[in-house]
Chains A and B, each alone.
Chain A
Amino acid sequence: MSDAPLPRVRLATTSLAGCFGCHMSLLDIDERLFPLLERVDFDRSPLTDIKHCGACDIGMIEGGVCNAENVHVLREFRASCKVLIALGACAITGGLPAQRNHLDLGLCLQEVYLTEPSLATGGIPNDPELPLPLDKVYPLHEIVRIDYFIPGCPPSADTIWKVLTDLLAGHTPHLPERLIRYD
């Protein structure tokens, strides 16, 4: 029985209103990517460039929800992934983009595109291709159910590795104090 191959796990990742720093931290697990790839196939991810998420075991999302497209992607992940993980400070709290939350969105756009001289190049963008911004930047758990949270800006590679290996081993992820950091 012990020789039976472990089941492969399908993993999807994406960044919403994030900076891809959490994905850099995922890559920062370095040579541990090789044992990870013995168990994991990547679905939609910046690593594969697959555009839509198929049926997955684990989804990891960095970044908060700042526009209508973010909402669609987040809901697609929730519908496709058995386990959905909020990765990093922005996914968990809205993060730096959420610092606009106490400001009026219209005034923000006006300040950036009309008032600020270095960017004033023809008004507030309104191309129909552009997703509409939301009134606030929302943490993921305010839009869909999130199963696990990996705090940090970004979370360290060790923190991401601990959660992934716990899940691959069939355990509920548990982070010790030294791996729970909010910055």
Chain B
Amino acid sequence: MSQSFLLDGVAVPFLPGQSVLQATLAAGRYIPHLCYHPEFRPHGSCKLCTATVQGRLVASCTTPASAELVVRSDSEELLEIRRTLVQMLFAEGNHFCPCCEKSGNCQLQALGSDLGVTTAGFRHYFPDRPVDASHPGAWIDFNRCVLCELCVRASAEVDGKSVFAIAGRGLSKRLIVNAPSGRLGDTDFAVTDKAMSVCPVGAILPKRVGFAVPIGSRRYDVRPVSAQALDDAPRLPRASDV
């Protein structure tokens, strides 16, 4: 008999070592998230997966699951907090969806649609950030980076290259490339790297394949992010599979 915690009044089973978010997704239930990726250690920076645990707001991706937990995720208050977080991300960068190659496959965009965000609401920051097209197979548009650090984690943990890092604090916090010139073309980054494919937004993109998939057939044209995330999540084996 596995242990379980309560999520919105329903028992969710978990394995030792799982976080609240991991166990929730494995059980076929959804909590919105952005910087979490099933193949990487939770990072806890975007706060989209914020839920109420024992009455306190916590990031569910970094909260270890345990039997006595009472978790609330599906409340209008939490949805509003998540909408505001998405709005701030949109207002902070330069996210021009109509001309972005990632549009339709972008997790930030898909979260906005799924959460009912129709406007960034805030005063747009319109930062002045560069584009790095120095690499023969990939380019980086820093205007779209949401600082999830998935490329940092993938490059260090999977690719063993540490091509990316985060520098600065507050508004000057930014993604940097680990080369004396600061250019991607001067690193050993390869388009086959995990860091190439893990970006949830349109910051790191392969060259020469933009807009290849027509509108209507793109990842989040077909199904909302809440359904796609469950497809991607490692699932607990069902009794019938054992």
**Using a CB–CB distance below 8 Å, which chain A residues touch chain B?**
86, 89, 92-96, 98-99, 101-102, 136, 139, 141-142, 146, 148-151, 153, 175, 177-178, 180-183
Complex CA distance for A89 and B109, rounded to whole angstroms: 13
Q: Is the CB of A180 within 8 A of B118?
A: yes
**Other 14 A-B pairs with CB < 8 A, given A93-B120, A96-B99, A98-B126:** A86-B119, A92-B120, A95-B98, A98-B96, A99-B99, A102-B94, A102-B126, A142-B124, A151-B118, A175-B118, A177-B114, A180-B118, A182-B103, A183-B100
Bitwise interface map of B from 120 to 140 toward A, beta carbon under 8 Å scored 1, else 0: 110110111100000000000
Q: Chain B contact residues: over half helix, strand or loop, or mixed? A: loop
User: Which residues from 100 to 124 on chain B have a C-beta closer than 8 Å to any C-beta of chain A?
Assistant: 100, 103-104, 109, 112-114, 116-121, 123-124
Residues of B contacting A95 in the complex (Cβ-Cβ under 8 angstroms):
96, 98
B224: interface (CB < 8 Å): yes
B215: interface (CB < 8 Å): yes
Residues of B contacting A139 in the complex (Cβ-Cβ under 8 angstroms):
119-120, 124
Range for the number of chain B residues in contact with chain A: 20 to 34
**Using a CB–CB distance below 8 Å, which chain B residues touch chain A?**
90, 94-100, 103-104, 109, 112-114, 116-121, 123-124, 126-129, 215, 224
Q: Is the CB of B113 within 8 A of A180?
A: yes
Sample 7 A-B pairs with CB under 8 A, ordered by A number. Answer: A92-B119, A96-B99, A102-B94, A150-B118, A153-B97, A177-B116, A182-B97
